[in-house]
Amino acid sequence: MVESTTLRDLAIFTGYSHIGSCREFVWIPGDVIGRKQLPSRFIIRGLVCEYEVEALMIRKDLYLRTEAGKEYVVTNFQITDINDIENIGGVAENCSLLFEKFPEMKTISDGERVLVSKQTQVMAFQAMSMVINQVKAGHGIDPKGAREVATMLVDEIIKAPEALMNLIDIKSFDDYTFTHNVNVATLCLIIGQSLGLPQDDLFDLGLGGLLHDMGKLKVSLSILNKDGKLTDAEFTEMKRHPIYGYEILCRSKDIPERSRMVALMHHEKFQGKGYPKGLKGDSIPLFGRICAIADVYDALTTDRPYRVAMAPHEAMKIVTSGIDTQFDPKVLTAFLHKMSLYPSGSLVLLNDGSVGLVLKANPKAVLRPVIKLLRNAKGERIKARTEVNLLETKNLFIAGPASRTLLNVTAGAKVI
């Protein structure tokens, strides 16, 4: 029998969003019988939820912080017994100290560079936790931590001007509420850099990206996480979040006006018809036009309670269909220059019917990465390692994404 561990007096976070507290969290590791690992269990005692318990149930991972400041992450967390609110039970994969072991952190294969370092991500996690609690307590924001994170993000992005954005670079934490703001800030900075903005501008843009959706904290969770169409009244309330966000940032010191405007303007559309003001073209501040693209792209490529994430190329198709209408074409072009449509690890179908695995992007030609061939044009498996740099092999090009099932085909279909 494995011994249980009891953690006491904890604040509970999902991502950076504070959910409540509990008196005890009892972790009971699963026994190992022979070679079989039984599931690990947990009991939450004395839970005080700020929202509904459902807010906990839709989460995959959970973060716990003790009064003494130690932080834990519980991965693949699932509540199975909620009959007795004093003893909520469930199963989870792992419970470990955040800094010692952080399974949600990405693993980067050899040769691939890390765009946003683990240190910055953990800093961002902590800074956003603080900000969110301040907003929920009805205070203005003390942006010290967020300013530090913005500086770190800018530094990392400036260090790698040639880097292409791979989806994996920014999908390290599971929780949408946390990842979305950090992802959007990162994407904003990549677009800003592609547009040649100076460092001071990038800082204000990054800070605005980190704080762009704070207004959502004033919208009820039942609207934010609704599985289905919003009613007119709910949609009207949802559309107020840029104003709520701007107001929160106006009550906060040390946040430049142009960073605040990111919160107010990130849902405006280039040809009008956006919200809250329905502004058009250049009357929408540049930072707002940048954040609009970052926001939509990140939302499309992330799993949400009501839908599965799209692949990058699908999201890109949707984003590019908004050129001239939803987005500023100049800003969108800058974004496209930096994004990798087929990130490392994607399966691609080539024009001769062969199938390959993307190994490395070519920064100067997003559609011509280095690939490893897995199946030849006849659909036969290629056993020897065969790498092809599509930048140098002009007769081959990517026809589209390949599904995993294509790896089992026996005859390759020629694509014209």
Binding site for Fe ion (CB under 5 A): 213
In angstroms, the CA 159 to CA 36 distance is: 46
β pairing state of 347-350 and 398-401: antiparallel
CB closer to Fe ion out of 175 and 213: 213
Q: Across-strand partners of 94?
A: 75
Instruction: Characterize 384-394 residue by residue with b for buried, 16 or more Cβ atoms within 10 angstroms of its Cβ, and e for exposed.
Output: eeeebebeeee
Q: Closest by alpha carbon to 56, among 80, 32, 39? A: 80
Cβ neighbours of 308 (radius 10 Å)? 8
CB closer to Fe ion out of 65 and 241: 241
Q: Is 342 exposed, middle or buried (0-12, 13-18, 19+ CB in 10 A)?
A: buried
In angstroms, the CA 294 to CA 149 distance is: 18
φ, ψ for residue 204, nearest 5 deg: -65, -35
β pairing state of 87-92 and 398-401: unpaired
In angstroms, the CA 86 to CA 189 distance is: 45
In angstroms, the CA 7 to CA 21 distance is: 12
- Specify the DSSP class assigned to residue 353: S
Q: Report helix angle 286-300 to 312-320, nearest 10.
A: 140
Alpha helices by DSSP H, 137-166: 144-159
- Specify the DSSP class assigned to residue 405: G
Q: Taking a C-beta distance cutoff of 8 angstroms, is the pair 88, 78 a contact? A: no
| Residues ≥6 apart with Cβ < 8 Å to 381 | 374, 375
Cα angle 220-137-241, degrees, rounded to a multiple of 5: 40
CB closer to Fe ion out of 213 and 247: 213
Q: Report helix angle 286-300 to 257-265, nearest 10.
A: 50
CB of 213 to Fe ion, least distance (A): 5
Q: Closest by alpha carbon to 75, among 91, 88, 86, 87? A: 91
Q: Taking a C-beta distance cutoff of 8 angstroms, is the pair 184, 293 a contact? A: no
- Report residue 186 as tokens: 């990162």
